[in-house]
């Protein structure tokens, strides 16, 4: 049986440790080239984008070599947000798109994400086929059947125009003061152009990548700098992306954080009340139950999926819906792009605010979040926590105290070596205490 290397969002890990090594990624490029282009007629063509990590140069070259060995032409996009690669894969009619990124992780991690020719992330079955092929030795094509590589110089401009075109004709951002936190990541070159060309007065932070400072105290995971900058510039709101630009979080004019669940509600409310077109919303197991209740009050159906925007997309496609996402900031507007898109999501929220003539601070108040606490416990070893008696006893004690008025979720992260302990209820003091108690038991179990 082939080894399982794909997680919830591609392949990810620490650079230099298997499988995030140059030799493995070279073979991965070869295997992916075989699987993702087998149904293509004529010349095979794959796009490669990356974020700003120093290791991206190495893995870009490794993927390029593997793909060319398999007879695939490669289009090099350079630093480019993950959703941009999804869009450009469709725009260029490419066989597939590949992103070199570890998203919100620190610089010493990296990863590989794949998109099919339709711009959607790969289903589990295709990932399994790639994993199976990795057990075979690399076969390099003869010279006349090798691929070629080229640099696509207008990729950024194409994506900027795509983002701007997601708004109605004539809709601009004139008169708005915005602070953008680009996380020293893949949005640093395109996000300021999008918002600036739409007429906003833009202040930027986290837009000076050096290969090592991606997500370092900035971006959607670290909002204190953005909160400070919004107050200092007296901005209307602040927008924070993560390292690869598929997440977005916001800060209102008072410096208060507005998370993904609240942003989804703002979009759902606008689409229902103003556009009359919100027929359902997809969230995940981590979605705050307050969003579920708020959507119910609007008579908008809601469905939970496994954690990961790819599963949210699957639910949207299955139900014929177009809006979903996660509290972490993945916003899915599937009527615009095929994956979570931080820039597109931010633009849609601003449109909702402007057309309803409401400030972000007031708009988020229309949804009441349940107290929720998430504790991340470092995972030094894998263990089935559903079979661990001390952990299950701790959960049982907590559930008794919640008395049916809350939720408990333990979930190994698919992108980091941690276990997330989430407790949700109607009493924030109790919720916090129970989360800490369970996390301590889990910590002893997996230390």
DSSP structure class, residue 321: -
Structure tokens at 140: 């390099």
**How many whole angstroms separate alpha carbon 147 and alpha carbon 3?**
28
The CA distance from 76 to 96, in Å, is: 12
Choosing from 55, 101, 103, 166, which is the catalytic residue? 103
**Hunting for tokens 């893949």 — which residue is that?**
186
Q: Is 413 noted as a catalytic residue in this protein?
A: no
Q: What is the dihedral of CA 421, 427, 429, 433, to 10 degrees?
A: -30
395 CB-near residues (< 8 Å, 6+ apart): 408, 410, 438
- Least Cα distance to 236 among 376, 359, 96 occurs for 359
C-alpha span between 404 and 387 (Å, rounded): 23
Q: Is residue 61 a contact partner of residue 95, using CB atoms and an 8 Å limit?
A: no
**Spatial separation of the C-alpha atoms in residues 173 and 349, rounded to whole Å:** 12
- Longest Cα–Cα distance of the chain, Å, equals 70
Distance of alpha carbon 326 from the chain centroid: 9
Contact 48, 77 (CB under 8 A): yes
Number of H-type helices and E-type strands within the chain: 14, 18
Is residue 231 within 8 A of residue 179, CB to CB? The reply is no
Is residue 354 reached through a cis peptide bond, with omega within 30 degrees of 0 on the bond before it?
A: no
Residues tagged active-site: 103
């Amino acid at each position: 049986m082939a080894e399982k290397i794909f997680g919830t969002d591609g392949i990810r890990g620490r650079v230099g440790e298997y499988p995030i090594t140059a030799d493995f990624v070279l073979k991965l490029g070869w295997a992916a080239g075989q699987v993702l282009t087998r149904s293509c007629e004529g010349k095979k063509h794959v796009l490669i984008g990356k974020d700003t990590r120093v290791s991206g140069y190495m893995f870009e070259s490794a993927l390029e070599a593997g793909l060319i060995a398999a007879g695939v032409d490669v289009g090099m996009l350079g630093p480019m947000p993950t959703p941009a690669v999804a869009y450009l894969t469709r725009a260029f009619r490419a066989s597939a798109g590949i992103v070199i990124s570890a998203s919100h992780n620190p610089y010493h991690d990296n990863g590989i994400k794949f998109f099919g020719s339709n711009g959607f992330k790969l289903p589990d079955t295709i990932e399994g086929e790639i994993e199976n092929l990795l057990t075979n030795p690399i076969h390099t094509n003869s010279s006349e059947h090798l691929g070629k590589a080229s640099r696509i110089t207008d990729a950024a401009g194409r994506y900027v125009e795509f983002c701007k075109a997601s708004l109605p004709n004539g809709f601009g951002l004139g008169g708005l003061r915005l602070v953008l936190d680009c996380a020293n990541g893949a949005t640093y070159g395109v996000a300021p152009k999008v918002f600036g060309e739409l007429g906003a007065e833009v202040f930027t932070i986290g837009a000076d990548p050096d290969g090592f400072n991606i997500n370092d105290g900035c971006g959607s995971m670290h909002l204190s700098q953005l909160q400070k900058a919004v107050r200092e510039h007296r901005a209307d709101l602040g927008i924070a992306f993560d390292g690869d630009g598929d997440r977005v979080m916001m800060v209102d004019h008072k410096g208060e954080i507005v998370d993904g669940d609240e942003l989804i509600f703002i979009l759902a409310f606008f689409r229902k009340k103003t556009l009359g077109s919100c027929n359902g919303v997809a969230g995940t197991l981590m979605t705050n139950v307050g969003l579920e209740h708020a959507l119910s009050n609007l008579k908008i159906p809601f469905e939970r999926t496994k954690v990961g925007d790819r599963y949210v997309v699957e639910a949207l496609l299955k139900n014929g819906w177009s809006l979903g996402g996660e509290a972490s900031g993945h916003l899915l507007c599937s009527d615009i792009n095929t994956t979570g898109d931080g820039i597109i999501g931010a633009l849609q929220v601003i449109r909702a605010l402007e057309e309803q003539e409401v400030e972000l601070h007031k708009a988020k108040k229309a949804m009441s979040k349940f107290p929720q606490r998430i504790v991340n416990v470092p995972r030094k070893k894998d263990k089935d926590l559903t079979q661990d008696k001390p952990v299950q006893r701790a959960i049982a004690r907590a559930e008794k105290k919640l008395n049916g008025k809350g939720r408990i979720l333990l979930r190994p992260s698919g992108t980091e070596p941690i276990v997330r302990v989430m407790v949700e209820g109607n009493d924030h003091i109790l919720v916090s205490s129970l989360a800490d108690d369970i996390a301590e038991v889990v910590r002893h179990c997996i230390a």
